[in-house]
């Protein structure tokens, strides 16, 4: 059994307690990603949102042979509930609207399971709300220095292959802010 985890943000450079094996590979399924989630710590993070353009995700094998255990591990790493973790297996299918894309990709690789973070966009405390670019830029400009450093780290470290509609403008904003 081969179960893998999809990633596009901090999981790549900071898996923490996530039990992954080997290196992250850059040929994961293409999913619609955007900097559209305001995190608890003030960062602006990537989320799957139908309003975004698609980007190739990354993936890594998990040290788990059970899809439920893999999902629990990812939920723990992401500090979220299991309902915010996407899953796919060949016999059950998937748990959200992107499972078809994930499943087609996984079947071609003979995988037995896939997990991914399925946190929705969130802006100003409202789940499902995708911020406008202007809101993101204003938000970055208004951050306290320590929080701005965290936000800048995430935006810069996100894999280069994740090309979103907002990324270039956010990087330019960080440059003008001297971060």
Cα atoms found within 13 Å of the Cα of residue 93, Cβ hemisphere only: 5
- The pTM is what? 0.94
Contact 121, 128 (CB under 8 A): yes
pLDDT digits (tens, 9 = 90+) for 52-106: 999 999 999 999 999 999 999 999 999 999 999 999 999 877 767 888 899 999 9
CA 134 to chain centroid, in Å, comes to 22
For the record, the structure tokens of 112 come out as: 């037995």
- Residue 7 burial class via C-beta count within 10 angstroms: exposed 0-12, middle 13-18, buried 19 and up: buried
Helix (H, G, I), strand (E, B), or coil: what is residue 18? Answer: coil
**CB burial string 99-124: b at 16+ within 10 A, e below:** bebbbebbeeeebebbbbbbbebbbe
Q: How far apart are CA 96 and CA 48, in angstroms?
A: 11
DSSP classification of residue 129: P
Strands of the sheet containing 58-62, edge to edge, are 20-25, 58-62, 3-7, 113-117, 85-89, 93-94
- CA distances (Å), origin 28, targets 36, 106, 109, 161: 21, 9, 10, 11
The strand pairing partners of 37, in sequence order, are 45, 122
Q: How far apart are CA 2 and CA 16, in angstroms?
A: 21
Average pLDDT over residues 94-121: 91
For the record, the structure tokens of 159 come out as: 């894999």
pLDDT digits (tens, 9 = 90+) for 130-167: 999 999 999 999 999 999 999 999 999 999 999 999 99
Task: Write down the domain spans for the chain.
Answer: 3-176
pLDDT at residue 96 in the model:
74
Average pLDDT over residues 121-130: 95
């Amino acid at each position: 059994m081969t179960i893998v985890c999809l990633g596009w943000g901090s999981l790549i450079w900071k898996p923490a307690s996530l039990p992954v094996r080997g290196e992250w590979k850059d040929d994961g399924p293409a999913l619609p990603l955007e900097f559209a989630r305001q995190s608890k710590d003030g960062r602006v993070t990537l989320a799957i949102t139908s309003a975004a353009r698609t980007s190739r995700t990354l993936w890594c094998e998990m040290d788990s042979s059970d899809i439920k255990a893999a999902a629990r591990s990812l939920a723990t790493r992401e500090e979220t509930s299991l309902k915010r973790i996407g899953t796919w297996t060949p016999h059950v299918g998937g748990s959200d609207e992107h499972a078809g894309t994930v499943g087609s990709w996984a079947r071609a690789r003979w995988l037995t399971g896939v997990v991914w973070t399925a946190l929705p966009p969130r802006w100003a405390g409202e789940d499902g709300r995708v911020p406008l670019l202007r809101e993101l830029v204003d938000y970055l400009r208004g951050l306290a220095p320590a929080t701005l450093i965290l936000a800048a780290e995430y935006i810069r470290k996100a894999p280069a292959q994740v090309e979103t509609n907002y990324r270039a403008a956010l990087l330019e904003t960080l440059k003008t802010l001297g971060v």
